[in-house]
A and B are shown apart, each in its own frame.
Chain A
Amino acid sequence: MAAEPMLRVRGLTKHFPVRGGLFLRTTGHVHAVDDVSFDLDVGETVGLVGESGCGKSTVGKTLLRLHEPTAGEVLFEGRDITTMGRRELRQLRRDIQIILQDPFESLNARHTVGKILEEPFVIHRIGTTQERRRWAGELLERVGLSPAAASRFPHEFSGGQRQRIGIARAIALRPKLIVCDEAVSALDVSIQSQIINLLLDLQREMHLALIFIAHDLAVVKHVSDRIAVMYLGEVVETATAKDIYASPRHPYTQALISAIPLPDPTADRDRIVLVGDVPSPIDPPSGCRFHTRCRHAREDCRQRKPTLDTVRDGASVACHYWRGLG
């Protein structure tokens, strides 16, 4: 079965219950992720982009089973993650890692960097004490830090250096897939470019697959092979990274791209300014979820939900009227 991709996500859905009232009864659901599908191959990067709250992080967390999915299938090397038992999940957590915006949010700040990097080997009972120490030093060197950093504490490092440590920890067990959730979003430009290059290098060297989540399309575009644009929990367009910028098809993608401030004062372009805010995901708009802000919306967009249709190999769009938009 050569054609089977490494990761195959089908119809992934996650609704969070909203509780209210005296007895905290479920009064509704946040439609965080609705019917998301994509494939990912060895060494490839899929970028997830969209405004905050559109469900990017929930996709990442749900496919790692950090959230239980409401519906859908996530096949990793042919096995369905959504039905895995504890033992299988343990193995999975070696193969799939996640890197967050601030890698130390969830880590013990009182541990030295060395201890933090040795921990994955300890958890999975790999190597001797001496080996683990040596590996931690090698990991630090690989991400561009001095092995001497092992004896220091996370708070002694700048944001960029901390992210290097987070990456070192993520690659420790030689994973096959890393979910990068806003991993470079908080970094200054001069540091961001260093970290992006590090990720690109590691990907090449280790044949890593990446799911790269960020709200900055210019950054996502730079690291991705293919991109999925999300709006209110749904994928509205997929395309190659190159095409998404050159010829965006969905009105939302077009607006998103046109809103990006270009570092070029001579750039002369037509800005599409979207009116209003993103509607609530608790009671998302009927029909096309984008219809409340879409400048091309017609009467039937309120009722009729567009499906994500393939427009050509690897590209798809969920809009009734994309053909006529030019």
Chain B
Amino acid sequence: MPILEIDQLSIAFDTEGDVVTVVDRVSFDLEAGETLGVVGESGCGKSVTALSIMGLLPKPAGRIQGGDVRFKGESLPSLAPERMRDIRGNRIAMIFQEPMTALNPVHRVGRQLAETYTLHQGELSADVVHRRCLGLLEQVGIPAPEQRLSEYPHQLSGGMRQRVMIAMALASKPDILIADEPTTALDVTIQAQILELLRDLQRETGMAIIFITHDLGVIAELCSRVVVMYAGRMAEQAGIEPLFAHPVHPYTRGLLASIPRLEDTPKTLLTTIPGVVPSIEELPSGCRFANRCPYVKDLCSREAPELVSASPGHRVACHRWREAEAGTLENWGS
């Protein structure tokens, strides 16, 4: 059984009397110990999906409108608040793009880490807590950990702050780590360090990771399976190699075609996806990618494509998936 099941999850926000559905029937599973990537452009619903798993949707505006999230078979949205707090603290942890939003700027790193640690491990002697906190900082590769414990968050570099966040997330030895763009604000050499750290920690602890990013490079580097989202819906889900070698959904194909690559000839025009994502207020009733899709046909604007299984482990929401799968759809941009 998967450790986490996202089942037909829909999320809505109440805004000025209107109900806006921002995530529409998203379904995917997470297996114990795996790294699942969630990719898509800004506003497609990645963070909101993550927050809803954690029971942290902004209240009162945000709510789960339909579907379910099950952790080891147990439905999370229907849990009592204390039980959910327990799961959130001990079983599922989350890290964010900007650790400063989660760290308290007026408290020393050591105090915050110690508080998180005792929250999870119960009352322990100050000495034991101190030693464990040092251990956690060492585990996430922070040099001079003793000194760091007495520093304030603003004294740390972006990369070090993210390591502290990871240490706090690890304090509870979670089964699942949800990482929402944790390297997006970091320089590429620091990103490489953090990705390596996450890979090592996963090997050591066996935790499962949901890694959210807009960067297909990071996905290719870290994940074994990937969910592609577009405008609040799932476009495609596949194992990492099939997704990059044989993307089926036109959005995925366009996205892969338009990335500038190091081996490209400089100053040649890039392949593009024309147009822009429709705004959440003006979503079409049919396929949400229709206004940008070179393969669009009449049916697409009438009917939203369902997520179907194209091959084992490969799901896609496109009316023309059979042609794409069979290789009879022309290449993107040709």
Interface residues of A (CB under 8 A from B): 45, 51-52, 158-161, 188-194, 196-197, 200-201, 215-219, 221-225, 240-242, 245, 255-267, 271, 273-278
Contact = CB atoms under 8 A, between A and B. Distances in A.
Contacts of A51: 187-190
Contacts of A200: 267, 269
Interface residues of B, number: 50
A273 B192 contact: yes
B267 A222 contact: yes
Contacts of B216: 189, 263
Contacts of B254: 190
Interface in B167-218: 187-193, 195-196, 214-218
Contacts of A264: 220, 244
Contacts, number: 142
A215 B41 CA distance: 20
B21 interface: no
B260 A221 contact: yes
Given A200-B267, A262-B220, A265-B220, A256 B255 contact: no
B195 to A, nearest CB: 7
Interface string B261-272: 111111111111
B276 A256 contact: no
Nearest to A274: B189
Contacts of A221: 260, 262, 264, 266
Contacts of B187: 51-52, 215, 278
B100 interface: no
Given A201-B269, A273-B196, 7 more contacts: A51-B187, A189-B214, A260-B262, A261-B220, A273-B192, A274-B189, A275-B193
A170 to B, nearest CB: 19
Contacts of A273: 189, 192-193, 196
A260 B188 CA distance: 6
Contacts of A257: 262
B188 A256 contact: yes
A262 B217 contact: yes
Contact of B255 (A189, A222, A271): A189
Interface in B259-311: 259-274, 276-277, 292
B189 A193 contact: no
B262 A158 contact: no
Nearest to B257: A193
A277 B218 contact: no
A159 to B, nearest CB: 8
A190 B275 CA distance: 9
A274 B186 CA distance: 14
B29 interface: no
Interface of B: 41-42, 143, 157, 159-160, 187-193, 195-196, 214-221, 240-241, 244-245, 254-256, 258-274, 276-277, 292
28 contacts: A159-B42, A188-B214, A190-B41, A190-B254, A190-B273, A190-B292, A193-B260, A193-B273, A197-B272, A201-B269, A219-B260, A222-B264, A222-B267, A222-B268, A225-B266, A245-B263, A256-B188, A259-B188, A261-B192, A262-B221, A262-B262, A264-B220, A264-B244, A271-B196, A273-B189, A273-B193, A274-B192, A277-B159
B221 A161 contact: no
Which of B157, B188, B262, B273 has the most chain A CB atoms closer than 10 A to its own CB? B188
A260 B193 CA distance: 11
Q: Give the most central of A188, A191, A219, A276: most B CB within 10 Å.
A: A188
Given A188-B41, A224-B266, A255-B189, A265 B258 contact: no
B78 to A, nearest CB: 35
A276 B143 contact: yes
A266 B221 CA distance: 9
Contacts of A52: 187
B262 to A, nearest CB: 5
A256 B187 CA distance: 10
A222 B266 contact: yes
B217 A263 contact: yes
Nearest to A271: B192
A277 B160 contact: yes
Given A190-B41, A276-B143, A263 B189 contact: no
A196 B258 CA distance: 11
B159 A190 contact: no
A216 B187 CA distance: 9
A242 to B, nearest CB: 6
Given A222-B270, A256-B189, A277-B157, A189 B217 contact: no
A258 B265 CA distance: 19
Q: Which of A258, A275, A276 has the most CB of B within 10 A?
A: A276
Contacts of B241: 265-266
Contact of B217 (A197, A255, A260, A274): A260
Contacts of B273: 190, 193-194
Contacts of B260: 192-193, 196, 218-219, 221-222
Contact of A189 (B41, B189, B262): B41
Given A188-B42, A193-B270, A197-B270, A218 B258 contact: no
Contacts of B159: 277
